[in-house]
Amino acid sequence: MALTGKQKRVLRSIGQLLEAVVHIGKEGVTEANVAATEDAFRTRELIKVRAMKSIATATDDIATQVAEATQSDIAGRVGHTFLLYRPNLELKTRIVLPEGRVKNEQ
């Protein structure tokens, strides 16, 4: 699911109030990080991940690796912190996103 700009803005506004639940250390993305992210997605749809400043890998690359491993979307990135979103239909309270744009077929 590719997020639209409007949907990303909504998620970033919600994400400002969140604390980072996953921290990526100097080893970079590991199985433990992916497992912690998957565990966090069981109870919420939007999570904040923080990478250490001393990591040699760029934060964009780390965000992409974690997003691909967890099949989630990157909602935004600021500095060494990024937001990941994955819908969870089993939750009682879910994030309501604005509808995506549908192009007319011609």
Instruction: Output the average pLDDT for the chain.
Output: 89
d(CA 41, CA 29): 17
Q: What is the mean pLDDT of residues 58-77?
A: 94
**Residue 67: its H or E element:** helix 59-70
Q: What percent of the chain has pLDDT over 70?
A: 92
Q: Answer whether 0.85 is exceeded by the pTM.
A: yes
State yes or no: pLDDT of 102 exceeds 70. Answer: no
State yes or no: pLDDT of 53 exceeds 90. Answer: no
Q: What is the mean pLDDT of residues 38-60?
A: 91
Q: What is the mean pLDDT of residues 78-103?
A: 85
Q: Could you write out the DSSP letters of every residue in 1-65?
A: -PPPHHHHHHHHHHHTTPPEEEEE-TT-S-HHHHHHHHHHHTT-SEEEEEE-TT-SS-HHHHHHH
State yes or no: pLDDT of 40 exceeds 90. Answer: yes
> In terms of CATH, what superfamily is 5-85?
YhbY-like (3.30.110.60)
Domain boundaries, the chain: 5-85
Q: What is the mean pLDDT of residues 10-32?
A: 92
